[in-house]
Chains A and B, each alone.
Chain A
Amino acid sequence: MSSILDRLLRREPASANLAKDRLKLVLIHDRTDLTPGTLDAIKDELITVISRHCEIDPAAVRVEMTQIGREQRLIADIPLRPSRRRRP
Chain B
Amino acid sequence: MACKVITVTSGKGGVGKTTATANIGAAMAATGQHVVCIDSDIGLRNLDVVLGLENRIVYDLVDVIEGRCRLRQAMIRDKRLPELYLIPAAQTRDKSAVSPSDMVRLCDELRPDFNWVLIDSPAGIERGFRNAIAPADLVVVVTNPEVSAVRDADRIIGLVEAEEKGPARLIINRIKPDMVKRGDMLSMEDVLELLAVELIGMVPDDEIVITSTNRGVPVVLDGKSKAGQAFRDIARRLEGEDVPFLSLDEGGNIFNRFARWIHPRSNRNE
Contact present for A30 and B196 (CB under 8 Å): no
Which of B151, B180, B182 touches A23 (beta carbons < 8 Å)?
A: B151
Taken together as a complex, chains A and B put the C-alpha atoms of A20 and B194 apart, in Å, by 8
Encoded as 1 (CB less than 8 Å from any B CB) or 0, chain A from 28 to 58 comes to 0011000000000000000000000000000
Contact present for B182 and A3 (CB under 8 Å): yes
Chain A residues positioned under 8 Å from B202 (CB to CB): none
The smallest beta-carbon distance between B148 and chain A, in angstroms, is 10
Give the total of A residues in contact with B, Cβ under 8 Å: 24
Which of B161, B184, B195, B263 touches A15 (beta carbons < 8 Å)?
A: B184
Taken together as a complex, chains A and B put the C-alpha atoms of A36 and B258 apart, in Å, by 47
Chain B residues positioned under 8 Å from A59 (CB to CB): none
Taken together as a complex, chains A and B put the C-alpha atoms of A8 and B185 apart, in Å, by 18
The smallest beta-carbon distance between A64 and chain B, in angstroms, is 17
Chain A residues positioned under 8 Å from B158 (CB to CB): 31, 70
Contact of B252 with A by CB under 8 A:
yes
Please name the residue on chain A nearest to B146 by beta carbon. A19
Taken together as a complex, chains A and B put the C-alpha atoms of A1 and B151 apart, in Å, by 32
Contact of B197 with A by CB under 8 A:
yes
Interface residues of B in 221-270 (CB under 8 A from A): 252-253, 255-256, 258-260, 263, 266
B interface SS class: helix
Contact of B97 with A by CB under 8 A:
no
Contact present for A30 and B180 (CB under 8 Å): no
CB contact under 8 A between A27 and B161, given known A2-B252, A5-B259: no
Chain B residues positioned under 8 Å from A9 (CB to CB): 255
Interface residues of B in 56-106 (CB under 8 A from A): none
CB within 8 Å: A-B pair count: 69
Contact present for B255 and A70 (CB under 8 Å): no
Taken together as a complex, chains A and B put the C-alpha atoms of A24 and B180 apart, in Å, by 18
Contact present for B185 and A30 (CB under 8 Å): no
Contact of B45 with A by CB under 8 A:
no
Contact of A14 with B by CB under 8 A:
yes
Chain A residues positioned under 8 Å from B258 (CB to CB): 2
Please name the residue on chain B nearest to A71 by beta carbon. B196
Encoded as 1 (CB less than 8 Å from any A CB) or 0, chain B from 172 to 187 comes to 0000000011111111
Contact of B147 with A by CB under 8 A:
yes
Contact present for A1 and B259 (CB under 8 Å): yes
Chain A residues positioned under 8 Å from B195 (CB to CB): 70
Taken together as a complex, chains A and B put the C-alpha atoms of A30 and B157 apart, in Å, by 12
Contact of B41 with A by CB under 8 A:
no
Binding site for A on B (CB under 8 A): 146-147, 150-151, 154-155, 157-158, 161, 180-187, 190, 193-197, 252-253, 255-256, 258-260, 263, 266
Known: A1-B263, A20-B194. 4 other contacts (CB 8 A): A15-B183, A31-B154, A69-B196, A70-B158
